[in-house]
Structure 1
Amino acid sequence: MGDKPLLNLKGYIIGNPLTDRKFDLPARVPYAHRMGLISDEQYETYRESCGADTSMNRNIQCKNCHDAIDKCLKGINIHHILEPECSSEYNGNSDSGRTLFDYGGAELGLSDISSECREKGYSMSGIWANNRSVREALGVHKGTVPLWLRCNHGTPYTTDIRSIVEFHRSVTSRGYRSLIYSGDHDMTVPFISTQAWIRSLGFAVVDEWRPWYATGQVAGFTTLYANNLTFATVKGGGHTAPEYMPKECLAMVDRWLSGRPV
Structure 2
Amino acid sequence: SLEKNCGGEYYENIDPSNIECLEEFQAFQKSVLGIWSKFILDSDCNSASSKSQEDSISGRRLLNQNFEVIRSSESLLSQFGCPDYPELLSNYWANDPDVRQALHVRKGSVGEWKRCNYGFPYERNVRSSVEYHANLSAK
TM-score by length of 1: 0.36
1:32-64 Cα offsets, whole Å, 9 max, x none, are xxxxxxxxxxxx2x1222112333232333223
Alpha-carbon distance in 2 for matches of 1:117, 1:105: 13
Alpha-carbon distance in 2 for matches of 1:141, 1:50: 56
Q: Structure 2 matches for 1:22-101, cutoff 5 A?
A: 44=1, 46-54=2-10, 55-58=12-15, 59-87=18-46, 90-92=48-50, 96-98=51-53
1:117 equivalent to 2:82? Answer yes
Report sequence identity in percent: 28
Alpha-carbon distance in 2 for matches of 1:122, 1:163: 20
Q: Structure 2 matches for 1:176-195, cutoff 5 A?
A: none
Cα contact 1:90–1:98 (8 A) shared by 2 = no
Of the three residues 113, 117, 124, the one matched with 1:160 is 124
- Deviation for aligned residue 1:161: 5.6
1:193-247 Cα offsets, whole Å, 9 max, x none, are xxxxxxxxxxxxxxxxxxxxxxxxxxxxxxxxxxxxxxxxxxxxxxxxxxxxxxx
Aligned length: 117
TM-score by length of 2: 0.62
Unmatched segments (≥5 aa) in structure 1: 1-43, 172-176, 179-256, 258-262
Q: 1:64/1:147 Cα in 2 relative to 1: closer, same or farther (>3 Å)?
A: farther
Cα contact 1:130–1:148 (8 A) shared by 2 = yes
The answer to which structure has the higher helix fraction is 2
Q: Which has the higher contact order (CA 8 A, sep 6+)?
A: 1
Q: Structure 2 matches for 1:10-21, cutoff 5 A?
A: none
RMSD over aligned Cα atoms: 3.5
Cα contact 2:6–2:21 (8 A) shared by 1 = yes
- Deviation for aligned residue 1:70: 1.6
Cα contact 1:130–1:147 (8 A) shared by 2 = yes
Unmatched segments (≥5 aa) in structure 2: 71-75
Alpha-carbon distance in 2 for matches of 1:125, 1:50: 41
Q: 2:49 is matched by which residue type in structure 1?
A: N
